[in-house]
Amino acid sequence: METTPATRLEHDALGGFPVPAEAYYGIATARAAANFTGSGLRLQPAFIRALGVIKRAAARANNDLELLPDNLAEAIVMAAGEVAAGRWDAEFVVDVFQSGSGTSTNMNANEVIANRANEILDGGPKGVYAPVHPNDHVNLGQSSNDVIPTATHLAAIAGVQKRLLPAFYRLESALQAKSGEFDGVVKTGRTHLVDAMPIRLGQEFRGYAGQVERARRRVTAAAEVLREVALGGTAVGTGAGTHEQFAARAIAYINDFERLQLRETTNHFQGQSSIDAIVEASGQLRVVATSFLKIANDLRLMASGPRAGLGEITLPELQPGSSMMPGKVNPVVPEAVIQAAAQVAGNDATIAMAGQWGFFELNTMQTVAAYNLLQSIDLLANAATLLAEKCVAGIAATATGPDLAARSIALVTALASVIGYDRAAAIAHDAAATGRTIREAAEGQTPLTPRELDRLLDPRHLTGQ
C-alpha cells in the first residue's frame, strides 16, 4: 500500500495501512475511522478526558508495581494528562457506532498517548512506537473490556457532580423563590384539566421545586451506583494479564486525581458482562426528564393566551414567535426543555436495549450506551439551567388566576360537607347554567347566612396554610 506526502505507512497483523502523517493516532485508529463511518458522532470530550485519567493512573500504578520503567511511566503520565486536559480531543476520530467493546476508542487513546509520550522522550517520528508502545506500555494491565465501562462510569459521575447537580440546585432555588413570591396568589386548581379546588400559585411552584429536589436525590443515587467500576477484570473478568494489585492502585490514583470515590467491583464477571449500573442510572435520568416535561408543560399552559388561554402567568418574552403573525410570542424555553426531555427518554430506550446485549462475558453495546448516558446528563444540565435563568426567574403572576378562582364552580365543594353532596351539586349546576358564581347561586338556596357563605367560599381560606 502506497503512502503520500500527507500519510505515513504503519503495519499490524493485517498488513500495512496509511495514517495521516501528522496524526498522533495510529493504524488501529485509522482502520477504525475508515471502517466506521455510520454517523459522524464522536464520544464526548468528557469520555476522552476519562480515558486520559485512567491511562495516567494506570501508568502510575504499573510504575509502583515495577512493571513500567520510571522514564516511560513519566512520559505516559504527561501525555495522558494532556489527553485528560482536552489538548488532543481532535485526535479522537472513531465513530460512536463501532466495535461494541469500544476497542477502537481504547486503542485511539493508547496510540495518541504512545506517540505523544515518545515525542516527549526523544522527539522521535510518529508511528514508530519506541520506546513507548500503545499495547505493551500504555495499555499495560488493561483491556478495552474493563477500561471502556470504567471510563463511562467515571465520565458520568463527573458530569453529575460538576454539571448536573449544580444546575438542579439553580433550578430548585429559582422555583423556591417564585414559590415565596407567589404565595399570596390564589388560583383555580385543576384535575383532569377541569376546575378543582383553589390552590395558591406559590403552592404549585413549591411542588415543582419538590420535583427538582427529588431529581437531585435520584441522580445522586445514580452516581453512587456508578462508583463501582470494572477496571482490573481485563478481558473476561478473571484479571488475566494484570497484577493483582493493579486495579486497587490505579483506582486510588484516579480518586486522588478526581475526588470521585470510585471502587473496584467485588464481582468482575457482572461488571463486564452487563451494563446494569448504566441502565439504572439512565432510568433515573428518564424519571428526571419526565419531571421536567410536567413542569415545562404546566408553565406554558398557565401562560397560554394571553387573551384566549389561561393567562395566569406571563413568561419572559425572549423572541418573536411567528414569521407570519406579528406580535406573537411563544413559550420557547419550555418547548426547548420538553424536546430535551424527549431526547433523554429516547436515550434511555437505547440504553435499555443496549443492556440486553450482554452475551456471556461482555456487553457489546458499550460505546452507544456511553454516548447516550453522557448526552442525557448534558441535556438535563443544560435544560435545568435554561429553565432557571431564561424562564422561571422572569415569571410574573397576573390577576387572571385570582379572578378565575373566585368564579370557579369547584368552590361548591366547600358547601358539600354542610348541606350535602346532592344539594351542593344542584347549586353547581345552577351556577353553570346561569353564569352566576357559586356564592350567588347558593344565596337563598341554603340555610347558611351571607357571612357563613363568605367564610366557607373564601378561595384563600380553602388553600390551607
What is the β-pairing status of strands 263-264 and 228-229? parallel
* 283 close to 348: Cβ distance less than 8 angstroms: yes
- What are the grid coordinates assigned to 188, written together? 383555580
Q: Is the pLDDT of residue 155 over 90?
A: yes
Residue 227 identity (one-letter amino acid): R
Q: What's the CA gap between 292 and 218, in Å, rounded?
A: 14
* 310 close to 302: Cβ distance less than 8 angstroms: yes
**119 and 164 belong to one structural domain:** no
Q: Can you give the pLDDT at residue 124?
A: 84
In a domain, 37, yes or no: yes
Exposure letters 208-225 (e unless 16+ CB within 10 A, then b): bbebbeebbebbeebbeb
Domain hosting 450: range is: 407-463
Q: Is the pLDDT of residue 201 over 90?
A: yes
Q: Can you give the pLDDT at residue 24?
A: 98
Q: Within 13 A of 457's CA, how many CA atoms are on the CB side? A: 26
Q: Give strand ranges (E) for 119-233.
A: 186-191, 194-200, 228-229
- pLDDT bucket at 1, cuts 50 / 70 / 90: low
Spot the catalytic one: 39, 322, 417, 461.
Answer: 322
In a domain, 95, yes or no: yes
Q: What's the CA gap between 285 and 236, in Å, rounded?
A: 29
- Enumerate residues 6+ apart whose C-beta is below 8 A from 203: 179, 183, 463
**152 and 132 belong to one structural domain:** no
Which residue, among 216, 433, 190, has the nearest Cα to 297 in the 3D structure? 190
Tens of pLDDT, residues 231-290:
999 999 999 999 999 999 999 999 999 999 999 999 999 999 999 999 999 999 999 999
- Enumerate residues 6+ apart whose C-beta is below 8 A from 449: none
- What CATH number is attached to the domain comprising 430? 1.10.40.30
Q: Can you give the pLDDT at residue 442?
A: 87
In a domain, 253, yes or no: no
Q: Can you give the pLDDT at residue 123?
A: 86
State which H helix or E strand residue 11 sits in. Answer: strand 7-12
What mean pLDDT value characterizes the chain? 96
Q: Is residue 268 among the annotated active site residues?
A: no
**283 and 432 belong to one structural domain:** no
- The 3 state secondary structure assigned to 263-312 is EECCCHHHHHHCCHHHHHHHHHHHHHHHHHHHHHHHHHHHCCCCCCCCCC
SS3 label, residue 260: coil
- pLDDT bucket at 370, cuts 50 / 70 / 90: very high
**69 and 218 belong to one structural domain:** no
Angle between helices 366-390 and 165-181 (to 10 degrees): 30
**216 and 112 belong to one structural domain:** no
Q: Count the neighbouring beta carbons within 10 Å of the beta carbon of residue 364.
A: 16
Q: Can you give the pLDDT at residue 38?
A: 83
Q: Is residue 322 among the annotated active site residues?
A: yes
Work out the percent of the chain whose per-residue pLDDT is above 70: 99
Decide which of 356, 378, 398 is a domain's last residue: 398
**32 and 166 belong to one structural domain:** no
- Which comes out higher in pLDDT, residue 443 or 119? 119
Q: Can you give the pLDDT at residue 416?
A: 86
- Report residue 254 CA to chain centroid gap: 23
Tens of pLDDT, residues 375-420:
999 999 999 999 999 999 999 999 999 999 999 999 989 998 899 9
**150 and 136 belong to one structural domain:** no
**23 and 61 belong to one structural domain:** yes
Q: How many domains does the chain have?
A: 3
**131 and 17 belong to one structural domain:** yes
Q: What's the CA gap between 380 and 296, in Å, rounded?
A: 13
In a domain, 304, yes or no: yes
Decide which of 362, 380, 398 is a domain's last residue: 398
SS3 label, residue 400: helix
- Report residue 151 CA to chain centroid gap: 16
In a domain, 393, yes or no: yes
**352 and 411 belong to one structural domain:** no
Q: Is the pLDDT of residue 2 over 60?
A: no
In a domain, 196, yes or no: no
In a domain, 219, yes or no: yes
Q: What's the CA gap between 224 and 263, in Å, rounded?
A: 10
Q: Can you give the pLDDT at residue 388?
A: 98
**179 and 128 belong to one structural domain:** no
- 397: β partners: 313
**388 and 413 belong to one structural domain:** no
- Enumerate residues 6+ apart whose C-beta is below 8 A from 267: none
Q: Can you give the pLDDT at residue 4?
A: 66
- pLDDT bucket at 3, cuts 50 / 70 / 90: low
In a domain, 121, yes or no: yes
Q: What's the CA gap between 163 and 385, in Å, rounded?
A: 10
- What CATH number is attached to the domain comprising 305? 1.20.200.10
- Enumerate residues 6+ apart whose C-beta is below 8 A from 210: none
- The 3 state secondary structure assigned to 178-206 is HHHHCCCCEEEEEECCEEEEEEEHHHHHH
Q: What's the CA gap between 317 and 23, in Å, rounded?
A: 48
DSSP one-letter code for 407: T
Work out the percent of the chain whose per-residue pLDDT is above 90: 91
- 95: β partners: 42
DSSP one-letter code for 124: P
- What CATH number is attached to the domain comprising 82? 1.10.275.10
